[in-house]
Amino acid sequence: MITKLKGKYVIGFDGHDHVILEHAEVVYENDTIIYVGKEYRGEVNDVIDMGNAVISPGFIDLNALGDIDHDILHIEASNSRQKNLLWSEEYVKKGHHEVMTAEEEAFKSQYAYSQLILHGITTAMPITSVFYKKWAETYDELAAAANHAGNLGLRIYLGPSYQSGIRVVQPDGNIKLYWDEEAGKEGLHRAVKFVEEFDGAFNGLVRGMLAPERIECQTKDSLKQTKYYSDKLGVPIKLHAAQGSFEYHTILENHGVTPIRFLYDLGFLGPKTGIPHAHFIAGYSEAQAGTGDDVALLRETNTTVIHCPLIIGRHSSAMESFAKYKRAGINLALGTDTFPPDMFQNIRTGSMLSRYVEKDVEDSTYADFFRAATIGGAQFLGREDLGRLAIGAKADIIAIDLDGYHMGVIDDPIRTMIISGSGRDVKLSIINGRLVMKDQKVPGLDLEEVKQKGQQYFNKMRKGYLERDYQHLEESELLSSSFKVVESI
């Protein structure tokens, strides 16, 4: 099956970087691109003319939301209220449990992955919350996630999360780490089993990864074992580190070095290791102590930084700066990490924050971030067949509509779609040569039904916070509305 895809602009690849072709076409046979240019002369079985659109490589989201976002409950909680949204020590000691049923946990990934597809994500490495878990992800819910991804046609890197500790709030309001090292060991074994059984499933769409939870919740042994199995199985690792004050200063207090230096000394960093968010480093504006050149350690080990500008910006932080990391030669990829999984918002926000820090546009352009969302992610995954429209690459292609009145005038297509567009302007998505979305509809999926089930899931998840709050506040106080809710005025 040979298909020709046409559009006003095509973001091609010249072997070194993205290039723009006007009034061009991409031709793919089955799952592989065979032509990028203006005048394909061979026979084709089908022609899809997208008209006034940008034909682009699909986005690679290396910290993609894999569940139904809890952050809407956290995003406007005050600093003093944030701890009420964590687990209380009392909750753990009296016997924490699964808030959701197995069926509900199986559903959440279908909701999340359909959202990714609708927003132009063609390759995802998910993250899910453990706030409402008994401890971490289960094998069964990841098996369900693999099947949802395969059925929807999403290219995905999966593995159940695991942790040896979790932050809890004591009765006096202080936060500490509660440890269950045996649970961490069981989680790692569960993750290895999952990779062994699912890596390569669905004709290679589903690949394995190792996903230890945040660095402060891991033991040295767990981290060493994770690196061992990454090398043995040939799969990537994703570990949240250098992302916040509690984590940074806890690692510094316990080990005498910054989180990045701690990982470096363990031999954990390397080409197969991706670190979201990696911005809270020695010399960072909020770091109260710590020395060394963490950026140099990341570069030396060829570790990828997975930048998630929207979520950290929403929580009053920023990388200092994307441009600095880029100039240092670090491989940068992007992750959405929140709802909506909108790469356009992330590129806009990331570029703005980097320009603010640098007081300059150089190395903070939309093009720089677009590369991170495509080529940078592919480099981390070791996939020269992803993140670009080139002969021999996988047919992972999206089309962004430029016809909407809200797009305004068209100048450079990248600048135009990033300034004015959003994920809702993605009107076509093809993954591995399969059409998985057209006109914001996913074949075979009733989005209205999924939306209703998603709301039911969220409502139940929201109630779970009341049980875990160390002060047992009333719902109206713990999860307050933007304005007072009244019956009449």
* Token pair in block for residue 111: 């909701």
Q: Any idea what DSSP says for residue 376? A: I
Cβ neighbour number for residue 486 with a 10 Å cutoff: 6
| DSSP H helical ranges for 279-412 | 294-300, 309-314, 322-327, 343-358, 366-371, 377-381
pLDDT score at 427: 98
Q: Whole-model pTM above 0.95? A: yes
CA distance 318 to 463: 31
pLDDT (0 to 100) of residue 219 = 98
Pairing label, strands 206-208, 211-212: unpaired
* Percent of the chain as helix, strand, coil, to the nearest 5: 40, 20, 40
d(CA 343, CA 418): 9
pLDDT of residue 96: 83
Eight-state DSSP code of residue 339: S
DSSP annotation string for 424-457? GGEEEEEETTEEEEETTB-TT--HHHHHHHHHHH
If we measure between CA atoms, which residue out of 339, 450, 270 comes closest to residue 72?
A: 339
Angle between helices 139-152 and 181-198 (to 10 degrees): 30
Each residue's pLDDT expressed in tens, for the chain with a length of 489 residues: 999 999 999 999 999 999 999 999 999 999 999 999 999 999 999 999 999 999 999 999 999 999 999 999 999 999 999 999 999 999 999 988 899 999 999 999 999 999 999 999 999 999 999 988 999 999 999 999 999 999 999 999 999 999 999 999 999 999 999 999 999 999 999 999 999 999 999 999 999 999 999 999 999 999 999 999 999 999 999 999 999 999 999 999 999 999 999 999 999 999 999 999 999 999 999 999 999 999 999 999 999 999 999 999 999 999 999 999 999 999 999 999 999 999 999 999 999 999 999 999 999 999 999 999 999 999 999 999 999 999 999 999 999 999 999 999 999 999 999 999 999 999 999 999 999 999 999 999 999 999 999 999 999 999 999 999 999 999 999 999 999 999 999
Render 153-210 in DSSP notation, one character per residue: T-EEEE--EE-SEEEEE-TTS-EEEEE-HHHHHHHHHHHHHHHHHHTTBTTTTEEE-B
The residues, ordered by sequence, that sit 6+ positions from 413 with a Cβ below 8 Å of its Cβ are: 8, 9, 11, 20, 54, 402
Calculate Rg over the CA atoms of the chain: 22
242, 248 in Cβ contact below 8 A? yes
